Amino acid sequence: MTNSKIQVLVEVEFFKEKQMARKTFPNLENRIYQPHFVVKGTKEYLGVCFVAGNIVELGEKTTAIIEMIYDNVDYSLLFKADTEFYITEGANIVGQGKVI
């Protein structure tokens, strides 16, 4: 099985008032938004792709479905409910979330 077809339900929140916060809420549909997740307590960047989700205001929580991008990367921490992570764009932490 390849990682690129595995999908996970997550709850996410994009920061509203941090220095590196996004100016607008990202499009969580159509595989357009492809940030990295960094599981809290680790340093590894895990490439993900949002495939479905609602648009809400920055600072609000919403649910979304993500898909793993890369094969041969260990995404196993993202398969455990309640795993918490940061959402990064490059070196900028723009949000956080948890696996549902």
pLDDT tens, residue by residue, 62-100:
999 999 999 999 999 999 999 999 999 998 999 999 999
Number of domains forming the structure of the chain: 1
Task: Print the domain residue range for 35.
Answer: 3-99
DSSP string, 12-54: EEE-SSSTT--SS----STT----EEEETT----EEEEEEEE-
CATH number (domain holding residue 39): 2.40.30.10
97 C-beta neighbours (distance < 10 Å), count: 21
pTM: 0.93
